[in-house]
């Protein structure tokens, strides 16, 4: 059997990840016929089909699933080799792919802009998605690192905290509970909640909160963005639980209020997450160091009664 080319492995890995020839072609800057030809040649080389078409959907065959395991390892090694050469050229020629959960998008653009200003030649890509999608980008080696509020379980990922993330209960200023002090969890059971979708880290915190107080999850509506939750709460459709980082403007303009609920705020942390088996580039290490320094600076400047950032340095695997 003739050996597969690195190009064929790269093309196959992209098609297998997207399960779509067109998206793989766009990602690799190839034409769709060129992608199809590479896949056909790879199948001829190994003597088995790698994909099967069912209707309009593409699926991996058993051989394709096995091939994906090896192709990802090879692609990862090639990327690491490229990283080493980038490092030999110096920090200013690095690449950095960052994935963040949507809630973190309220503060990450400002931090990222400051980082880019300090390192203008580093090519940075930012992807914003929910937690499940961000974890998928890490697992598929699309993202170099991720920012999220609920670190993944298991041993494949490393998560380092760098910033506090207080979750608060929000309501419209005219909501009856807006003037109530020391609201108890049971009082919330009769309210309609506006929650993030299944798979969101914030949604998981809310579910665990009510479970810990032996209460069923109240009547609720699921929404796929924090903006939708804020707008719906302002309209009086219910109350929500959201990161305080995402409501600063609404609090200043008095469009939302934070309810005085016992056991709140629930203080979580933002984490820098990366794959344990992925060699961190100099650019990724520099960005982690930058986030750690920024969080420490923020902690020193906040008032004493304001939740402060966790003073922990980010440790990127080398």
CATH number, domain containing residue 103: 3.40.190.10
| Residues 129, 99 within the same domain | yes
Domain assignment of residue 317, yes or no: no
pLDDT of residue 286: 86
Give the whole-angstrom CA distance, residue 281 versus residue 317: 9
Residue 1 lies in a domain: no
Cα→Cα distances 158→58, 136, 154, Å: 33, 15, 9
Are 263 and 169 in the same domain? yes
Residue 308 lies in a domain: no
Residue 226: what pLDDT?
Answer: 85
Whether residue 123 is found in the same domain as residue 31: no
Assigned domain for 314 exists: no
Asked if residue 156 and residue 39 are part of one domain, the reply reads no
pLDDT on residue 298:
63
Same domain, 171 and 257: yes
Res. 104 pLDDT band, cuts 50 70 90: confident
Average pLDDT over residues 178-188: 91
- What pLDDT is recorded for position 308? 37
Going by pLDDT thresholds of 50, 70 and 90, the confidence category of residue 91 is: low
In a domain, 306, yes or no: no
The answer to whether residues 119 and 56 belong to one domain is no
**Tens digits of per-residue pLDDT, 201-247?**
788 888 888 899 899 888 888 887 888 999 999 999 999 998 888 88
Task: For 240-292, write each residue's pLDDT tens digit.
Answer: 998 888 888 899 899 999 999 988 998 888 899 998 888 777 888 888 889 98
Residue 203 lies in a domain: yes
Task: State the CATH number of the domain containing residue 41.
Answer: 1.10.10.10
Average pLDDT over residues 42-53: 91
* Whether 229 and 273 share a structural domain: no
Distance (Å, whole) CA 187 – CA 95? 50
Higher-scoring residue by pLDDT: 150, 302? 150
Kindly state whether residues 275 and 154 are assigned to the same domain. yes
Reported confidence tier of residue 316, pLDDT bands at 50, 70, 90: very low
Domain of 126 in residue numbering reads as 91-163+268-301
Q: Give yes or no: residues 193 and 136 share one domain.
A: no
Please say if the pLDDT value at position 314 is more than 90: no
- State yes or no: pLDDT of 99 exceeds 90: yes
**What's the pLDDT at 273?**
92
- 59 within a domain of the structure (yes/no): yes
Nearest alpha carbon to residue 146 among 154, 138, 136: 138
Given a cut of 80, whether residue 1 has pLDDT beyond it is no
Last residue of a domain, one of 85, 113, 128: 85
Residue 309 lies in a domain: no
Average pLDDT of the chain is 84
| pLDDT score, position 37 | 92
Q: Are residues 107 and 243 in the same domain?
A: no
DSSP assignment of 211-264 equals HHTT-PPPSEEEESSHHHHHHHHHTTS-EEEEEGGG-HHHHHTTS-EE--BTT-
For residue 143, pLDDT over 60 is answered with yes
170 and 35 assigned to the same domain = no
Q: How confident is the model at residue 86 (pLDDT cuts 50, 70, 90)?
A: low
275, 141: one domain: yes
Domain count across the chain: 3
């Amino acid at each position: 059997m003739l050996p597969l080319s690195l190009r064929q492995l790269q093309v196959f890995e992209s098609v297998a990840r997207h399960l779509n020839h067109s998206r793989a072609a766009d990602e690799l800057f190839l034409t769709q016929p060129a992608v199809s030809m590479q896949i056909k040649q790879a199948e001829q080389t190994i003597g088995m089909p790698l994909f099967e078409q069912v209707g309009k959907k593409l699926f991996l065959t058993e051989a394709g699933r096995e091939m994906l395991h090896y192709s990802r390892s090879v692609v990862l090694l090639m990327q690491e080799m490229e990283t080493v050469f980038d490092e030999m050229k110096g920090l200013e020629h690095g690449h950095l792919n960052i994935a963040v959960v949507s809630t973190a998008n309220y503060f990450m653009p400002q931090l990222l802009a400051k980082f880019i200003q300090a390192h203008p030649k580093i090519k940075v890509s930012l992807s914003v998605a929910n937690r499940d999608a961000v974890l998928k980008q890490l697992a598929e080696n699309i993202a170099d690192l991720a920012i999220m509020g609920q670190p993944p379980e298991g041993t494949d990922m490393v998560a380092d905290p760098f910033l506090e993330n207080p979750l608060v209960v929000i309501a419209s200023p005219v909501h009856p509970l807006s003037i109530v002090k020391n609201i108890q969890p049971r009082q919330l059971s009769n309210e309609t909640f506006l929650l993030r979708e299944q798979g969101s880290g914030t949604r998981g915190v809310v579910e665990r909160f009510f479970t810990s107080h032996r209460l069923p999850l109240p009547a609720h509506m699921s929404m796929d963005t924090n903006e939708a939750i804020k707008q719906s709460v302002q309209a009086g459709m219910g109350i929500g639980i959201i990161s305080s980082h995402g409501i600063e403007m609404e609090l200043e303009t008095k469009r939302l209020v934070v309810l005085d609920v016992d056991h709140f705020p629930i203080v979580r942390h933002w984490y820098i997450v990366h794959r344990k088996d992925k060699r961190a580039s100099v650019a990724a290490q520099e960005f982690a160091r930058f986030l750690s320094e920024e969080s420490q600076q923020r902690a020193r400047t906040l008032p004493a009664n304001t939740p402060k950032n966790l003073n922990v340095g980010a440790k990127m695997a080398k």
